[in-house]
Structure 1
Amino acid sequence: MRLTMLTFGLFAGPAFAQPGPPAEGPDEIVVTGQKRDGTLQDADASITVLDAEAIDQARLRDFRQLDDLVPNVQFNEAGQLSNVFITIRGVESNPFIVNRAAVYIDGIPFRELTNAVLSQVESIEVLRGPQGTLYGANSESGLIVIRTRAPSRDAEGEVRVTGSLFSGTGGAGIEAYYSTPLVSDTLAASLAVKYGREATWMRNRAAGVTEPGEIEERFVHGRLRWTPSDRTTLNATAYLLDINAPGLFDNDFFPQDRTLYDQLYGALNGGRPSGRYGYFHDAPKRTDETEYVLGLSVAHEVGSGTVDAAVSYRRDRSDSLGLDFDFTSLPTAAGRDDNDQRVTNAELRYASAQQQPLSFLAGVAYFRDDKDNQKSTFVGPGDLDSYVAAPVQTRSIESLSGFGSLRWRPAFVRDVTLSAGLRYDHTRQRAVQREGQLDLGGGSILYYTDARLASTDDAWLPRFSITWEPTDDATFFGTIARGYIPGGFNLAATQENITDPDVLRYRSETMWSYEIGFRVRSADGRFRASGAVFQIDSNNWQEIRVLTDETGRPVSSDFIGSSASIRSRGFEVEASWRAVPGFDLSASFGYADATYLYLFNGIEDLAGNRVKLVPEYDANLSARYQHRSGVFARAAMNFVGAMALDERSYAVQPATTMIDLQLGYENERFTARLFVDNLTNVRRFSGLGFDNLAFGTDGTVYGALEAPRIVGAEVEMRF
């Protein structure tokens, strides 16, 4: 079990569309991510929707597990506590460039998503392709919308206890939820709490290490929902998340080739082999993170439309100590990363009634993201108090947007809907670097110079679509959309005394996406299928450049260039079938041929290489049967193709197959299950591959690992 917390948000009330009564025939699946009332069957985009039942049946407790269920979507990470970066349709993200896919949890943006456990979630929607018309920058490759459970008008609650074993150790957690009306049918409140404690699945075996790794999390979340009239709803939320992880750095690296690693560095590690999930780092480690969110939204019906207003504030404070530069027991150098991020988001919009032949949506939005970062190191042996800090570096992003869209059902063309949207984004960025230095060990010192950089970006983001619905159970659609990510600054260039403005500032990235898709279902709703083909062309592609010295040793990973381009072509299909009552089958397959059209890394042109962190394919096959007595079983197989871990294709993660199993019992008030994740204990890399930070190129690469085999039990009681 992974126990990182879902960061809950607001707007679970009518600020976005709510499920209505089912239509005659198959139950309608409601889509909220397009910010207007609508169903999945009528949507003009490629969308995967998971409702609360599907989420629970798949035991989707960790956000990183979502890519097992959604084709052409991949989650990459740099450590058990690090941020999660999302690849959609071959458009990758990585830890040094902000996500190209946006994530909204009940309307609150998470442009740098932390690992999360899904709890009290009503639905998850994955929208593929640029969503800039409604969500602006950083929704270039797609959008993930999570809607959590709103306070109920009836008193209800639940308690869930989970225990797990992995890598010779384990963990346990408990979570509880209670919702109750406070004032008849007008005011309701809910409270969610969670506590989890588990060992890390990678165990530090270095001599003298007293903290092999542990994660402890506490979470408290309160919500209010007030409906003073049938036309007005107000939602408020507040939560606090606290993570303490002694013995763990959030961004640790492990060797891909363990045999070669042990041959090279076994003597430094006391002659002991590293093992599948063991490692030797002498650096003293600890990670602490505190995050809180405050949010308020209101929805009010005006005439034939609805006005929505929302504002939120999120602060995330993290301090991670213990990056081991040489990845061995040798005391060379250790690093620390201290961050303080504050995000404010506000939006006001009006949506007309959707039943009319011509409907529209219009609004304005404001976004501000401020982040302070301070790095520290020490050379040789030391403890948690030995780190020497460089000056605090600051950056801020502020954007103001206006957006609108029209949807028209012309009377002279039967069953066709035309849609057009446009968003204007004005973005301002600032970066401040203060003079100082950072000792990287081995005689290498990183010098910071004073720098004050500022820039503005303006972007127009259009989107066009056409939808044809020849029957109630068949939909065909096509879309063309533009996406972008604002440019930024290379403070690393100032450290090398570079003054070329084209190097100090990398340009805004732009892309065009084209797709044609379909969605069909049987008349009784027991069978559903969808699919799409797509092409994506991106210019000024922002690509991380790992600067190295003459030995191949990385000396900076903060340099980004924008003189590259990519093209991604592919398709995805997914289907579900209720063969007989109680027996469900689902399958999906995604293929993305994503290649660099041009990428110069300072040494060679890498055109023709596959885009890193993009698997050749991904697929899922799952079956679940529940007997009328309440006994159930579920099996899932997840297939992921080979994936380059860097732009050179120097390191490749081979194709893998993972198997998950469940066996349990369920009734109206009680659920108990046994589960096994990653049954065959596949060792799989999930993030960028790096050369050794201290010794340079040594024949293998280092990166983060996904979870090993996890065996556990879960009991849930509802009242």
Structure 2
Amino acid sequence: MPRHARLEEVTVTALRKNSNQQKTAVSVTALSPTMIMRQNIQSLDQLQYRVPNLVVPPRGLVPNTLSYYIRGIGEPDSLQNQDVGIYVDDVYIARPTGATFQLSDLESINVLRGPQGTLFGRNSSAGALVINTTTPTDHVHTFAEGGVGNYNNYQFRLGASGPIKTGVLDGGISVLYHTQDGFVRNEYLRKSVGNLDVFALRAKLRWTPMERLEFILSADYDRDYSDPVPVLPRVKGVSTQHYVNYDNLAIWNKLNAGGVSLKGTYSINRYSKIRSITSYRAFDDPGVFDQDGTSLNEEITVTHHRDFDYTQELQYQYDRSRLHFAVGGFLYHDRFASSRYNAVGIGNSFVPQVGLEISNSYSLYGQGTYDILPNLHLTFGSRYTWEDHSFEYTSATKGVPWHVNNPPHHWASYTPKVGISYDINRNALVYGSWSVGYKAGGFDDRATSITAATTPFAPEIVTTYEVGLKADWLDHRFRTNLSLFYNDIGNYQTTAYDPSTGLSQRFDLGNAYSEGLELETTAQLGNNLTWQNNFTYLYSKITSAAGNPQYLGKALLYAPRFTAFSSLIYRIPLNIPGSIELSTNGTFSSRSFSDLSNSSTNALQAQGSWDGTIQYTTADRRWHFLMTVQNILGTSYSVGGVTSTYYNTILYSNPTTVLFRARYAL
């Protein structure tokens, strides 16, 4: 250990090249595998609050489907286009089903805040989560991990990679299996519900037929047979108890998802290269759900969602001297079949909601940075997108069935970006940017009338203004990253009363904004203690709401005014083989809302949590033994609910969990 330990350099990989986070003029949080292990992050929803202004609301009907919100912008409906783009090994993940991503063999996680689209992939109005898994090389890499915890929590992760033909062909495979009893007790069926049952497999081949040419073939499969999320009743004569419900229906969900991708890179010379990324992905997801939490069966839903998507991206990159740029094209085709049969009210018959939406998107994009001076950098980006969506739908109104078949509806958008950054010195930079993001229009996959099913809604446009400061101080022992932002949201998409049709349907409500600040700090307090913090302030407001004055002035969904995260990591200075490390972290969020009415009944309460980990690593760093406790104080608070004519339900935070893990890596 050096006399004065310094903070390690954090590498950003999400911008199509590796760069130092402190030299990257965007709001980004990068997590390495070491950080992920220290904080026991095992799925993407656990990034909530650890990443500034990232909120992952409670899971909906199924645990394998998540929505993500960044700076108050997100999409709660899993059937619709998402505001936050998700990429795994440069492949765009079109829908949130299966997007929890139980994490296994990782190289990095990057979270970009603000509109994305002028550098890669599909246009995203709020930000992007970029995940990179380990790529096999000529070096042998193996790992095995097992874990056991309370609630019958069992976890296994295995992986191996290395040369198949030295210098030409490398391969790798990783496997994950995770089971756990649910936290809710069903008193009617007399068993735990909300159980986890996940199996995941990922394989890669890396072929280098010549020095300048590389192909990476990837395949993954995810089988998630976890229970639907059990809701808890609040009224109708049934006593409200945390972690107890009374459903008399055996609810279930069975997701099978996966895909293949081929990434080819040809280096023309030291300064430029061409890249192609081709992917096919699909999922099949049937399930049965009881949404009232009682034995009265007041809302039962039978679903079967199927999706197939194809993407193709071509890109040219140039990086030399004072000019750095990338230009490319992105093609996206998605075929989403949604089948829902819903019975609301005791004894009511099932109403079909069967849809088929076919989406096509074609984009040209480019972004470049020119060094006007050695310490002054100017960035320009542009994206042009063409979209068309067709929609076929079958349902019934008052027992009378009907069917519509909408021809393709077309949209086009231009979304630019301008940025400037200035290096104050070798350890500090300031930056400013103006960028525009886009979320596609579409049709109402939950339409209850012919009018709603035939009326498309327009794209949502987000214009973001941002300034920031990144700096290392005290000989790289203290780091601060500060950003201030303002988001102007036009054509805010939601489901509400539409005055043009007189119906409740998905449409463009009006305009809104969000503004705030994000502060991240890291301090190296001596050779053995690291202290990491972030603090965010977010204010959001709906400024126009066509025909819905009750929403004027309300906050956006899942947009807490304040959030905070703090983590301490201490390496105990003991004269023993290996090392012992203690880490603890806490999170806090002020109250936020799960509906646009901002009703206190369904609000997410102000909440906090405290976790801790102790880890022993052998001297050769091959063995790691960890014990992690999450929610040490056992606090329980509301994380949202649903109030309807027929039922009233609530969800609570997870109780205290303890997990013991052992990992061997070579």
**1:136: how far off?**
5.9
Contact 1:186 1:227 in 2 (8 A): yes
- The match for 1:468 is 422
- The match for 1:104 is 87
Contact 1:36 1:351 in 2 (8 A): no
- The match for 2:283 is 316
Contact 2:232 2:242 in 1 (8 A): no
Supply the AA of the counterpart residue of 1:179. Answer: S
**1:185: how far off?**
2.6
> What is the aligned counterpart of 1:690 among 623, 642, 651?
642
Change (3 A) 1:213 1:519: closer
- The match for 2:204 is 223
Supply the AA of the counterpart residue of 1:428. Answer: D
- The match for 1:605 is 550
Contact 2:86 2:92 in 1 (8 A): yes
- The match for 2:610 is 659
**1:377: how far off?**
4.5
Change (3 A) 1:414 1:311: closer
Q: After the TM superposition, which residues 379-394 of structure 1 pair with which residues of structure 2 at under 5 Å, given as runs?
A: 390=352, 392-394=354-356
Change (3 A) 1:702 1:446: farther
> What is the aligned counterpart of 2:566 among 605, 621, 638?
621
Q: Distance in 2 between matches of 1:587 and 1:189?
A: 39
Supply the AA of the counterpart residue of 2:137. Answer: S
Q: After the TM superposition, which residues 411-426 of structure 1 pair with which residues of structure 2 at under 5 Å, given as runs?
A: 413-426=373-386
Deviations 1:617-646 (A, max 9, x none): 111111011225411211111011110121
> What is the aligned counterpart of 1:249 among 200, 224, 228?
228
Secondary structure at 1:276 match in 2: coil
Change (3 A) 1:211 1:46: closer
**1:111: how far off?**
3.5
> What is the aligned counterpart of 1:265 among 237, 241, 246?
237
1:399 is the counterpart of 2:351? no
- The match for 2:304 is 338
> What is the aligned counterpart of 1:480 among 431, 434, 451?
434
Change (3 A) 1:338 1:478: same
Secondary structure at 2:37 match in 1: helix
**1:579: how far off?**
1.2
Extract unaligned runs of 5+ from structure 1.
1-24, 267-272, 439-443, 548-555, 696-700
Deviations 1:572-606 (A, max 9, x none): 00011121222111000011101111225x55332
Deviations 1:138-172 (A, max 9, x none): 5101111111111132222111111121xxx3321
Secondary structure at 1:54 match in 2: helix
Q: How many residues align?
A: 644
Q: After the TM superposition, which residues 84-95 of structure 1 pair with which residues of structure 2 at under 5 Å, given as runs?
A: 84-95=66-77
What RMSD over aligned residues (CA atoms) do the two structures have, in Å? 2.6
1:510 is the counterpart of 2:461? yes
- The match for 2:128 is 143
Extract unaligned runs of 5+ from structure 2.
1-5
Q: Distance in 2 between matches of 1:499 and 1:364?
A: 34
Q: Distance in 1 between matches of 2:525 and 2:246?
A: 51
Change (3 A) 1:290 1:416: same
Structure 1 length as normaliser, TM-score? 0.84
1:294 is the counterpart of 2:260? yes
Deviations 1:184-230 (A, max 9, x none): 13211111112222112223222x46774433222222111122333
Deviations 1:326-372 (A, max 9, x none): 4311144521111001121111111112x321232111111112111
Secondary structure at 1:192 match in 2: strand
**1:505: how far off?**
1.6
Secondary structure at 1:56 match in 2: helix
1:702 is the counterpart of 2:655? no
- The match for 1:647 is 596
Contact 1:137 1:485 in 2 (8 A): no
- The match for 1:441 is none
Contact 1:84 1:112 in 2 (8 A): no
Change (3 A) 1:562 1:654: same
Secondary structure at 1:53 match in 2: helix
1:717 is the counterpart of 2:651? no
- The match for 2:318 is 352
Supply the AA of the counterpart residue of 1:517. Answer: G
- The match for 1:10 is none
> What is the aligned counterpart of 1:596 among 531, 542, 554?
542
**1:33: how far off?**
1.7
Change (3 A) 1:63 1:311: same
Supply the AA of the counterpart residue of 2:469. Answer: F
- The match for 1:183 is 165
> What is the aligned counterpart of 2:530 among 561, 578, 584?
584
Supply the AA of the counterpart residue of 2:90. Answer: G
- The match for 2:585 is 636
Change (3 A) 1:235 1:479: same
Supply the AA of the counterpart residue of 1:375. Answer: R
> What is the aligned counterpart of 1:671 among 613, 624, 628?
624
Contact 2:356 2:391 in 1 (8 A): yes
Supply the AA of the counterpart residue of 1:619. Answer: A
1:408 is the counterpart of 2:370? yes
Deviations 1:43-69 (A, max 9, x none): 121111111211111111121111231
Deviations 1:519-569 (A, max 9, x none): 11137433221010011101111122289xxxxxxxx98x21203111111
Contact 1:598 1:605 in 2 (8 A): no
**1:130: how far off?**
0.5
Secondary structure at 1:498 match in 2: helix
Supply the AA of the counterpart residue of 2:591. Answer: A
Q: Distance in 1 between matches of 2:219 and 2:536?
A: 38
Q: Distance in 2 between matches of 1:213 and 1:589?
A: 32
- The match for 1:157 is 142
Q: Distance in 1 between matches of 2:628 and 2:116?
A: 36
Contact 1:163 1:170 in 2 (8 A): yes
Q: Distance in 2 between matches of 1:180 and 1:41?
A: 33
Secondary structure at 1:132 match in 2: coil
Q: Distance in 2 between matches of 1:311 and 1:351?
A: 17
Change (3 A) 1:332 1:405: closer
Change (3 A) 1:187 1:136: closer
Using the TM superposition, name which of 479-488 and 704-713 deviates more. 704-713
- The match for 2:3 is none
**1:448: how far off?**
4.0
Supply the AA of the counterpart residue of 1:694. Answer: Y
Change (3 A) 1:349 1:142: same
Q: Distance in 2 between matches of 1:388 and 1:328?
A: 19
Q: Distance in 1 between matches of 2:517 and 2:544?
A: 23
Deviations 1:304-327 (A, max 9, x none): 301111101111111111233x43
Q: Distance in 1 between matches of 2:198 and 2:446?
A: 34
Contact 1:274 1:280 in 2 (8 A): no
Supply the AA of the counterpart residue of 1:587. Answer: N
Secondary structure at 1:133 match in 2: coil
> What is the aligned counterpart of 2:272 among 305, 315, 318?
305
Q: After the TM superposition, which residues 182-221 of structure 1 pair with which residues of structure 2 at under 5 Å, given as runs?
A: 182-206=164-188, 208=189, 212-221=193-202
**1:685: how far off?**
4.3
- The match for 2:333 is 368
Q: Distance in 1 between matches of 2:650 and 2:345?
A: 23
